[in-house]
Amino acid sequence: MKIVIDMMGGDNGLEATIPATKNFINEHKDLDIYLIGSIKELKENFNESEHIHLVESKTIVKMDADPMSAMKDKESSLMVGIKTYLDNNCDAFISAGSTGALLTAATFKIKRMPGIIRPALITPFPTMIKNKRFVVCDLGANTVCNKEELNQFAIMGSIYYKSLFSDQENPRVYQLNIGTESEKGTEVNKETYKLLKENKDINFLGNIEGRDPLFGEVDVLVTDGYSGNIFLKTMEGTAKAMSSMLKKAFKRNLLAMIGYLFSKKGINELKETMDYKNVGGAMLIGINGVVIKAHGSSDPKSFLSALHVAYKLVNVDIINKIKEKI
């Protein structure tokens, strides 16, 4: 398996990517790995070998860079990474850098799969049921979508779900909407409802509101990137706010602190479940290769989790599975 890692992207850059990559290399012995970044630091941390390639990049694409201009900087870790990916016929590319720049560069250089209208961002999320996840597609790659695009998101989302999780033979697909009835929402929502209902390749169960996916009934949540992004960030913000309120509640006096010690195990498990850093990387699904966007504020743990997602998706050959269906 040939994997390219942008070591410089993300808010924490090498501080996150170096420890994560070391762990990853130790866990998997079947890797041909290309690390892109400042050569000095890479050499200090990794021994070049037949299977570990260190590739120099000179610049870093800013997190808020304009995607089209970013593509012109050929010496950035992003663009050197994509060139390395293409030149060596690799299987996966992982970056914690700017989502827009990664999406644009991947679409133009690695290109879409044949038949795919637009690639989308997809990732799994926790639910309150232990170990049960659901996936959301699109999380923000496409601000406005039409019904054909959303229909492809439903197909790709179902394949992605089955590739990562084995609890559902026919993943339960829902459309994110502001009510459950078929005629709810925008004109696109109504048209998409009909198209998804007719699609025999997926198990479409109807519309669902933002309040329900966390309770475990949904496997694939289909949405345009705008609403998907609002959904994702609201969930993230609410979980973060409640976790810090919880922390404060346990610190209000000695008794409460003792209370925390007694109930620590369950409480930490709850915080762990709802910590979106554990979610790992979002796949740019629809691109002709496994391209993973790690969280911009990745720490070593979440970057490692993005690497694991890439490994698993290459291993199950998700790209060919999607090609068969589209």
Binds a second copy by CB under 8 A, chosen from 43, 197, 248, 325: 248
Name which of 202, 211, 204 is nearest 127 in CA terms. Answer: 211
Tell me: does residue 214 bind a second copy (CB under 8 A). yes
At closest approach, how far in Å is the CB of 51 from a second copy? 39
Stretch that binds a second copy, among 39-47, 90-98, 105-113, 178-186 (CB under 8 A): 178-186
Binding-residue pattern over the window 126 to 145 for a second copy, x denoting contact by CB under 8 A: -xx-----------x--xx-
Report whether 293 contacts 282 (CB < 8 A). yes
# binding residues, a second copy (CB under 8 A):
58
Q: Tell me the pairing of strands 2-6 and 52-56.
A: unpaired
Tell me: does residue 255 bind a second copy (CB under 8 A). yes
Nearer to a second copy, 22 or 271 (CB): 271
Tell me: does residue 272 bind a second copy (CB under 8 A). no
Nearer to a second copy, 233 or 325 (CB): 233
Tell me: does residue 211 bind a second copy (CB under 8 A). yes
Q: How many Cβ atoms sit within 10 Å of the Cβ of residue 14?
A: 16
Q: Which two tokens stand for residue 8?
A: 């410089």
Tell me: does residue 186 bind a second copy (CB under 8 A). yes
Nearer to a second copy, 19 or 259 (CB): 259
Binds a second copy by CB under 8 A, chosen from 235, 287, 291, 313: 235
Q: How many Å separate Cα 146 from the centre of its chain?
A: 22
Binds a second copy by CB under 8 A, chosen from 209, 278, 317, 325: 209
Name which of 150, 65, 133, 147 is nearest 100 in CA terms. Answer: 65
Name the 3-class secondary structure at 6: strand
Binds a second copy by CB under 8 A, chosen from 50, 252, 320, 324: 252
Backbone phi and psi for residue 65, each to the nearest 5 degrees, phi listed first: -65, 150
Tell me: does residue 241 bind a second copy (CB under 8 A). yes
Nearer to a second copy, 68 or 256 (CB): 256
Nearer to a second copy, 170 or 234 (CB): 234
Tell me: does residue 68 bind a second copy (CB under 8 A). no
Backbone phi and psi for residue 113, each to the nearest 5 degrees, phi listed first: -65, 150
Binds a second copy by CB under 8 A, chosen from 260, 296, 301, 323: 260
Q: Which two tokens stand for residue 267?
A: 């409480």
At closest approach, how far in Å is the CB of 249 from a second copy? 3
Q: Which residues contact 125 (CB under 8 A, 6 or more apart)?
A: 133, 134, 135, 136, 213, 214, 232, 235, 276, 279
Residue ranges in contact with a second copy by CB under 8 A: 64, 127-128, 140, 143-144, 176, 178, 181, 185-186, 209-215, 225-227, 229-242, 244-246, 248-250, 252, 255-256, 258-267, 269-270, 273-274
